[in-house]
């Protein structure tokens, strides 16, 4: 008998990604594609047969919100994601992509990439001029997973005008528009913003509309870390919807959440705003990670105006006692329009160091450090920012489980890890290693918040549809053979805040483009990923 398949997966319970109930079938894989889904395929027709009786077979998970742009240059396999079943990784989020760069502001951009642990790779590795150059370099490194790139607004803005806290000149705006257009032509799937972060925070709504219009011309998406996820969240959603409406572009709200105890429960209102917009004909979606804590760089707790001019400028200013007193006064007054007061939302006890040059600080809150060293919590923050610039990473405990569940059940919510890589050694947020199995183990099996069919849809076909990914997200003949094979009775995350680098249990196989990328909790070393480029 001639061999029809490279691999035959026998007797799996198929969850095809549509939300339909499972059915039992075999899956034949040939040349990186799913070529047949049928009961009782002859095992003699395949080079390799994998028996999976009783296990679930579903499409590979799509991480709609990652920060692995730099990490992929150092570890193209991205082991933490592969081990939890992620086969496609959306990068360039929160306004931060590695490129495009300009010679004039290259140093500022390299410093800015510390927010993605960019200090872990050489400056030479980050010396990438155009968006297309980055994608080509990533292809040459042979990634272990598929990569779907967005172009970041902060990156484009720094390239045109550095970290200046002002409106762009006409020529600077034209340069930004040209860079967004070039990135879209070279393969970006859309434009992202990080509007709580400098310098994205300095942009007016009008500036964002003009840049989103450029991405919209190429049928891209506008993905936004909004200007507020706490006190001013409803206004921030209104701004995002305005940008989408005026630019004629789909809006995707990144890591949707409600920050700060006084705002808990407000997801009722945020989801209603999205529902109303959808009912009026606007494409708006969101993603979420299933944890009560978030994570970002420590300097983000300071008012964005403090960070104007870039790291060399603000670290010098923060050495001055008088300037520090002014910053403290601003923070103590509370939030202001266009600024998310994370210290108010989390408290010093809720700000926990996860990445720092001070190894003895890792795992301790700002309050813990201040008490031990008999210092003001503000001085602990200022001193760390002065010393480590944007490289000190924190975990912030600010969300309520009720909002998490309400957002999770929302039909247009998908799953994104928002993981910040720790390069295998730092105590980063556990979402980097645990997001997807956590959904299936805790929120599906243990709590019945979602059905397994709905959870898989949110991790696969909904994400592919939202970002415009072809031939992925469904278990369907002719589609790419990105598969996860897992035991629904045992799948579970093991990553914790104390031990975040632990991989999950219950995932037996992960396939990327027809090759086995992980087997029984170990990566195989396969380099079968593709760098996806948007077509328009």
Q: Model confidence over 492-506: pLDDT tens digits? A: 999 999 999 999 999
First to last CA, the chain: 43
How far is the C-alpha of 120 from the C-alpha of 362, rounded, in Å?
A: 17
Residue pair 297/381 in contact by the 8 Å Cβ criterion? no
Burial of 31 (0-12, 13-18, 19+ CB in 10 A): exposed
- Each domain of the chain, given as residue ranges in start order, spans 65-292+399-429, 297-396
Q: In the predicted model, is pLDDT for residue 409 greater than 80? A: yes
How far is the C-alpha of 144 from the C-alpha of 515, rounded, in Å?
A: 10
How far is the C-alpha of 314 from the C-alpha of 318, rounded, in Å?
A: 6
The reported pLDDT for the residue numbered 425 is 67
Report pLDDT digits (tens) over 53-79.
999 999 999 999 999 999 999 999 999
Report pLDDT digits (tens) over 294-317.
999 999 999 999 999 888 899 999
How far is the C-alpha of 96 from the C-alpha of 133, rounded, in Å?
A: 16
Q: In the predicted model, is pLDDT for residue 107 greater than 90? A: no
Grade residue 372 by pLDDT with cuts at 50, 70 and 90: very high
How far is the C-alpha of 519 from the C-alpha of 94, rounded, in Å?
A: 32
Q: In the predicted model, is pLDDT for residue 536 greater than 80? A: no
| CATH superfamily label, 65-292+399-429 | Metal-dependent hydrolases (3.20.20.140)
Grade residue 124 by pLDDT with cuts at 50, 70 and 90: confident
| Mean pLDDT computed over every residue of the chain | 95
């Amino acid at each position: 008998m001639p061999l029809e398949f490279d691999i035959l997966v026998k007797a799996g319970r198929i969850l095809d990604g549509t939300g339909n109930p499972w059915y039992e079938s075999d899956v034949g894989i040939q040349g990186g594609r799913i070529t047949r889904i049928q009961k009782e395929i002859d095992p003699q027709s395949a080079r390799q047969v994998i028996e999976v009786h009783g296990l679930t077979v579903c499409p590979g998970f799509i991480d709609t919100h990652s920060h692995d742009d730099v990490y992929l240059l150092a570890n193209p396999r991205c082991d933490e994601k592969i081990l939890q079943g992620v086969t496609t990784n959306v990068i360039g989020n929160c306004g931060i992509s590695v490129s495009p760069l300009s010679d004039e502001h290259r140093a500022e951009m390299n410093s800015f990439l510390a927010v993605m642990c960019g200090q872990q790779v050489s400056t030479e590795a980050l010396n990438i001029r155009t968006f297309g150059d980055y994608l080509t370099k990533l292809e040459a490194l042979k990634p272990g997973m598929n990569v779907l790139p967005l172009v970041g607004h902060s990156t484009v803005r720094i390239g045109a005008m550095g970290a200046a806290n002002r409106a762009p000149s006409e020529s600077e705006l034209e340069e930004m528009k040209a860079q967004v257009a070039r990135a879209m032509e070279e393969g970006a799937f859309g434009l992202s913003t990080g509007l709580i972060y400098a310098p994205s925070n300095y942009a007016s709504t009008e500036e964002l509309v003009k840049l989103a219009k450029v991405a919209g011309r190429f049928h891209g998406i506008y993905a936004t870390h909004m200007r507020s996820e706490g006190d001013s969240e409803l206004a921030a959603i209104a701004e995002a919807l305005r940008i989408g409406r005026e630019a004629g572009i789909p809006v995707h709200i990144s890591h949707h959440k409600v920050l700060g105890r006084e705002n808990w429960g407000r997801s009722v209102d945020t989801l209603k705003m999205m529902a109303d917009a959808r009912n009026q004909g606007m494409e708006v979606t969101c993603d979420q990670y299933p944890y009560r804590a978030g994570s970002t760089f420590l300097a983000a707790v300071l008012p964005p105006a403090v960070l104007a001019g870039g790291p060399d400028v603000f670290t010098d200013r923060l050495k001055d006692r008088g300037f520090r007193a002014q910053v403290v006064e601003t923070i103590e007054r509370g939030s202001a329009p266009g600024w998310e007061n994370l210290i108010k939302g989390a408290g010093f006890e809720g700000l926990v160091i996860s990445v720092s040059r001070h190894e003895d600080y890792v795992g301790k809150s700002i309050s813990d450090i201040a008490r031990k060293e008999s210092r003001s919590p503000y001085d602990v923050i200022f001193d760390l920012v002065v010393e480590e610039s944007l490289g000190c990473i924190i975990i912030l405990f600010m969300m309520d489980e009720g909002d998490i569940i309400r957002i999770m059940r929302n039909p247009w919510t998908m799953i994104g890890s928002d993981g910040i890589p720790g390069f295998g050694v730092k105590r980063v947020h556990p979402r980097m290693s645990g997001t997807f199995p956590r959904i299936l183990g805790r929120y599906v099996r243990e709590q019945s918040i979602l059905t397994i069919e709905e959870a898989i849809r949110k991790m696969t076909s909904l994400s592919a549809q939202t970002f415009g990914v072809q031939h992925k997200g469904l278990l369907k003949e002719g589609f790419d053979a990105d598969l996860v094979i897992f035991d629904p009775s045992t799948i579970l995350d093991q990553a914790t805040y104390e031990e975040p680098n632990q991989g999950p249990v219950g995932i037996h196989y992960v396939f990327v483009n027809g090759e086995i990328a992980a087997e029984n909790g170990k990566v195989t070393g396969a380099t079968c990923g593709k760098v996806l480029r948007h077509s328009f």
